[in-house]
Structure 1
Amino acid sequence: MANKLSACTSILIGKDASIDGSIMIGRNEDAKAAWPKHMVVHPHGALPHQFVSKETKLAIDLPGESAAYTATPEWTSKYGLFEEDGINEYHVAMSATESAYSNPLVLGADPLVKKGLNEEGMVTVVLPFIKSAREGVHRLGSLIAKYGTGETNGVLFADDKEAWYLESGAGHYWVAQRIPDDCYAVVGNQLAIQEVDFTDSNNFMFHPDIQEFVEKNNLNPDPTCFNFRKIFGTADRSDAIYSEPRVWIGHQMFSPQQAGNEHPESTELPFLMKPDRKLSILDAQAYLSNHYQGTKFDLLGDTPEAHKYRPISLAKTQESHVLQMGRKGPDIHWLAMGVANESTYVPFFDGITRVPISYGRGKLPAQLNSAYWIFKHASVLVDSHLHDFLPLLRDVQKERQAAAMQLVKETDAKAAGLTGVALADYLTGQSDKFANETLEKYRKLSLELITKMTDYCPLNFKTDENL
């Protein structure tokens, strides 16, 4: 699945930057316009004792019993699992990966490893075996250092207390930074972590030999500091068109008072930002659904700049997720199948034991009993006559957003009085109910759109009613 490279957009939000004190990590998984995803719930102890990558053939022994966790694997395991995102039974969330690039100087000193640990297996070998975000960083970093990796990636972690962002910058070397509680970060396919403080173990983790590696190979262009992005990353024209504008629009959305003078092609955009206001789950979803609307770069606009920059939400999004942790109620795995801007985020509560059958279906060619394809069906119909049909989609999305907020409030209240099997059954039922209701709304939308499209036939003719 080499096409997964050059894709994805991520967001991380600290608990004091959010409106409800929750921690959020989210990402669009971008690869192909027609490549279905499933959602699964792995029960406790379901994994074998060894993972073997179908992509690189790397074999890794797995430690002890696996925890229960949610995940969104590919529709086929032919190229590997690519489980991508999930929350485990110990209230730890992980999303992998944000594809990035390393510069030739670094790769000359520590080349990528063809048979290393790549995106395909990262969630599978890490998430079921960790009990905190910090432990997740340590486990993944240790595996990369030991086995190497064939990709440059960013990986998101969160638990009920904090969020972390890990980046691999070469075949074996990596760093990770804790997201300050009052900050957020947005990332678009480039190495993002900047200055690393090796004396601050509360906020940074790293390969133990990374300083020696950089010094030995004369990789640091500014020896007065250790800027991971500038040492390991790239800053070329493709970054200016492809990556930096997505960071810029996030800053314009959430920190306009501070970022008003930023330029979308700037190579100096900060990794961490404080929002001008508290951010909600809808803000995180809105960022992952953005296509520069409200600017001259809007992909749906008609200005000369409309197609200048790569948008956040685009046709090649397979699924979009926000993992919301540290809530007063159950943690939530929000999942939008297909293009985020034309889909709906469905809340799957942490602790569920299954998902609707339709979320386990979906292959090629399309099949309309699959959650992925039900959302995609409505999406492509809307695309066919965007000006006329987009308002109808927006009406469904707004109704579903309000219904989701009501569902979460209702679920939080009742779940507080439940435990054990009763709690798991209730949370599963609530998630199932909303997911199935949403799929039915999109089925009805598709039928309405097909009905309206019948009069768009090019063989139409204004007939005299008297004939």
Structure 2
Amino acid sequence: MKKWIGILGGVILFSTATLTAEACTTVLVGKDVSYDGSTIIARNEDMGTAWAKHFVVRPEKSLERDYVSKGNGFKMTLPENNMRYTAMPEWDVSEGMYEAAGVNSKNVSMSATESATTKESVLKLDPHVEDGMAEDSIVTCVLPYITSAKNGVEYLAKIVEEKGSAETNGIIFSDKNEIWYMELLTGHEWVAVRVPDDQYAVIANTLSIQQIDWNDKENVMYSKNLKSFIEKNKLADKAEKASMREVFGDLEEDGHYNTPRVLAGQNIISPSLKHELTEESFNLFEKPDEKVTLPKVEFVLRNHYNGTKYDTYEGSEPEKFRPINVPRTMESHIIQARNDVPEEISMVQWVSMGVPDTSSYVPFYTNITETPKEYQMGTDKPDAESAYWTYRMTNVLTVPYYAEFKKEDVLPVRKEVRKHLDEELAKTDKEAEKIIKENPEALQEYLTKSVKGFSDYSLGKYKELNSDLIIKSTEKTKVDHKKSL
């Protein structure tokens, strides 16, 4: 990839780009413990500090059937007609699409991938397939064709068992009823578990599925040879009691890089757990202390060990642990499958471009025909129009004077934007319900126009904020004037 290096206001603006989301954090919330009965899946996509993501709608029947990855040469023949779906591709697709996350017209969601690593000793037994399914292809080749969360696991599993996987990854599927979390363990072995309705998970770049019930067909799925693979290669004393994480995971970097993020996220949602960030183990699923709201999920995704000595902006040991919110977060998304509104408006994809700590989550109904043009723009060079660079610049301008600018400027705007968007979303829901009853053909046009309004409002507020931050930054420059001149 190209290397772009630059500095603005003392903040690194460009960095080496490598096309893999090597450092992401995921939050999954079962419907019984979400504040409104929704299933919620969310993830930060981390890769580069100056690498724009786009947010688009792929129309039905728009994909070429003979699919070839520009990243690793993976090939497959796609079904004849793809469904409409939302996607979050790279601005430059010359090395792959990397569509990251979206929702299809059957109201099935997918977020991929949560990158992880497998022990080299295990990979020697079943190596990754160089031209197998990889992150750049996974959403494009799966999401437009699946009809439920569980079907998503089955669909991807078939591809992996036939063509192999090029990477170790975690993938999330959801619909209004359930969430499934799937891990690709080796070239052909995989495992998936259903997120309990009364629990949640925080996942951070490490294989996280532990002991499974091999006989629980309702809540567990796995590759046909997984058990025999473990037994034949003597990877555990007893396969029935084996932890997939312990058997397959390369956990060498977890103490610094991964586990602290999981523990920090669990401390936010379940303060009663009182984890120390130096703990070495965690449960994949936990019960929250109270119902989980969208702002609580956002707080997890924005976390940088706030208020502790490990705080990456204000702590005394900022490099001790890798935080959830990092400068190279390109986008953060929360996909909400609502059960208290009509099916036609049930799916909302909340999108935060740039670094979520200084950005806003904007709601997008996914039953739309197109996204605002600002979300289809942006490259690796700053501009004044794209959604990515508008929100990215807020972070660049805030960090040099973080304590002051975050509290006095960014937070008030973020709160104002969220209040407005929540109110507008509620109003739009009510009007949309009327349209569904009286003139359903007009619904998509109405929703498309509505999300444009949501986007315009937020972008306008952040452009004003950026102007204010530039002025305040300039005023921080010390100039000694001679009275005689």
Contact 2:231–2:238 (CA under 8 A) maintained in structure 1: no
Q: Offset of 1:424 from its aligned partner? A: 0.9
Contact 1:16–1:182 (CA under 8 A) maintained in structure 2: yes
SS in 2 for 1:435: helix
Instruction: Give deviations 1:119-159, integer Å, cap 9, x for gaps.
Output: 10000000000110000011111111111112110001100
Task: Please name the residue that 1:411 is paired with.
Answer: 428
Query: Which of the residues 247, 251, 254 maps onto 2:266?
Result: 251
Give, in whole Å, the separation in 2 of the partners of 1:345 and 1:144.
Answer: 33
Task: Please name the residue that 1:270 is paired with.
Answer: 283
Question: Which runs of 4 or more aligned residues in structure 1 lie more than 4 Å from their structure 2 counterparts after TM superposition?
Answer: 221-224
Q: Offset of 1:427 from its aligned partner? A: 1.2
Give, in whole Å, the separation in 2 of the partners of 1:5 and 1:194.
Answer: 23
Structure 2, unpaired ranges of 5+: 1-16
Task: Please name the residue that 1:37 is paired with.
Answer: 53
Give, in whole Å, the separation in 1 of the partners of 2:18 and 2:234.
Answer: 31
Contact 2:259–2:281 (CA under 8 A) maintained in structure 1: no
Q: Root-mean-square deviation (CA), in Å?
A: 1.5
Contact 2:36–2:338 (CA under 8 A) maintained in structure 1: no
Q: Offset of 1:405 from its aligned partner? A: 1.4
Query: Which of the residues 310, 324, 329 maps onto 2:322?
Result: 310
Give, in whole Å, the separation in 2 of the partners of 1:444 and 1:223.
Answer: 59
Task: Please name the residue that 2:220 is paired with.
Answer: 204
Number of residue equivalences: 461
1:444 aligns with 2:464: yes
Q: Offset of 1:267 from its aligned partner? A: 3.0
Q: Which residue identity does 2:263 align to in structure 1?
A: W
SS in 2 for 1:290: coil
Query: Which of the residues 275, 282, 288 maps onto 2:295?
Result: 282
Task: Please name the residue that 1:427 is paired with.
Answer: 447
Give, in whole Å, the separation in 2 of the partners of 1:166 and 1:402.
Answer: 35
Q: Offset of 1:56 from its aligned partner? A: 1.2
Give, in whole Å, the separation in 2 of the partners of 1:221 and 1:380.
Answer: 51
Matched ranges for 1:99-138 at <5 A: 99-138=115-154
Task: Please name the residue that 1:461 is paired with.
Answer: 480
Q: Offset of 1:16 from its aligned partner? A: 0.4
Q: Offset of 1:108 from its aligned partner? A: 1.4
Task: Please name the residue that 1:95 is paired with.
Answer: 111
Q: Which residue identity does 1:241 align to in structure 2?
A: H
Give, in whole Å, the separation in 2 of the partners of 1:390 and 1:463.
Answer: 34
Q: Offset of 1:43 from its aligned partner? A: 1.2
Q: Which residue identity does 1:414 align to in structure 2?
A: E
Give, in whole Å, the separation in 2 of the partners of 1:381 and 1:90.
Answer: 41
1:370 aligns with 2:386: yes
1:148 aligns with 2:167: no
1:178 aligns with 2:191: no
Contact 1:404–1:434 (CA under 8 A) maintained in structure 2: yes
- Bigger mean CA offset, 167-176 vs 379-388: 379-388
1:69 aligns with 2:85: yes
Give, in whole Å, the separation in 1 of the partners of 2:426 and 2:353.
Answer: 23
Contact 2:230–2:239 (CA under 8 A) maintained in structure 1: no
SS in 1 for 2:241: coil
Give, in whole Å, the separation in 1 of the partners of 2:124 and 2:176.
Answer: 39
Instruction: Give deviations 1:239-292, integer Å, cap 9, x for gaps.
Output: 1000000000111111122x12x3323332000001010001111111111111
Structure 1, unpaired ranges of 5+: none
Q: Offset of 1:3 from its aligned partner? A: 5.0
Task: Please name the residue that 2:4 is paired with.
Answer: none
Matched ranges for 1:310-349 at <5 A: 310-329=322-341, 330=345, 331-349=347-365
Give, in whole Å, the separation in 2 of the partners of 1:437 and 1:387.
Answer: 26
Q: TM-score, normalised by structure 2?
A: 0.92
From the superposition, tell whether residues 350 and 74 of structure 1 become closer, same or farther in structure 2 (CA, over 3 Å). same
Contact 2:21–2:113 (CA under 8 A) maintained in structure 1: no
Contact 2:51–2:379 (CA under 8 A) maintained in structure 1: yes
Q: Offset of 1:354 from its aligned partner? A: 0.9
Task: Please name the residue that 1:79 is paired with.
Answer: 95
Q: Which residue identity does 1:325 align to in structure 2?
A: A
Instruction: Give deviations 1:378-397, integer Å, cap 9, x for gaps.
Output: 22111232233222011111
Contact 1:235–1:267 (CA under 8 A) maintained in structure 2: no
Q: Offset of 1:326 from its aligned partner? A: 2.9
Q: Which residue identity does 1:69 align to in structure 2?
A: Y
Contact 1:12–1:185 (CA under 8 A) maintained in structure 2: yes
Q: Offset of 1:400 from its aligned partner? A: 1.1
Give, in whole Å, the separation in 2 of the partners of 1:7 and 1:215.
Answer: 32
Query: Which of the residues 414, 423, 428 maps onto 1:397?
Result: 414
Task: Please name the residue that 2:3 is paired with.
Answer: none
- Bigger mean CA offset, 427-436 vs 214-223: 214-223
Task: Please name the residue that 2:182 is paired with.
Answer: 166
Give, in whole Å, the separation in 2 of the partners of 1:121 and 1:148.
Answer: 13
Task: Please name the residue that 1:241 is paired with.
Answer: 256
Q: Which residue identity does 1:461 align to in structure 2?
A: D
Give, in whole Å, the separation in 1 of the partners of 2:339 and 2:362.
Answer: 17
Contact 1:187–1:247 (CA under 8 A) maintained in structure 2: yes
Q: Offset of 1:222 from its aligned partner? A: 5.1
1:187 aligns with 2:203: yes
Q: Offset of 1:416 from its aligned partner? A: 1.4
Give, in whole Å, the separation in 2 of the partners of 1:115 and 1:265.
Answer: 38
Give, in whole Å, the separation in 1 of the partners of 2:240 and 2:34.
Answer: 35
Give, in whole Å, the separation in 2 of the partners of 1:448 and 1:21.
Answer: 39
Percent of aligned pairs sharing the same letter: 38
Instruction: Give deviations 1:56-75, integer Å, cap 9, x for gaps.
Output: 11111111310001011000
Q: Offset of 1:408 from its aligned partner? A: 1.9
Give, in whole Å, the separation in 2 of the partners of 1:453 and 1:5.
Answer: 32
From the superposition, tell whether residues 12 and 327 of structure 1 become closer, same or farther in structure 2 (CA, over 3 Å). same
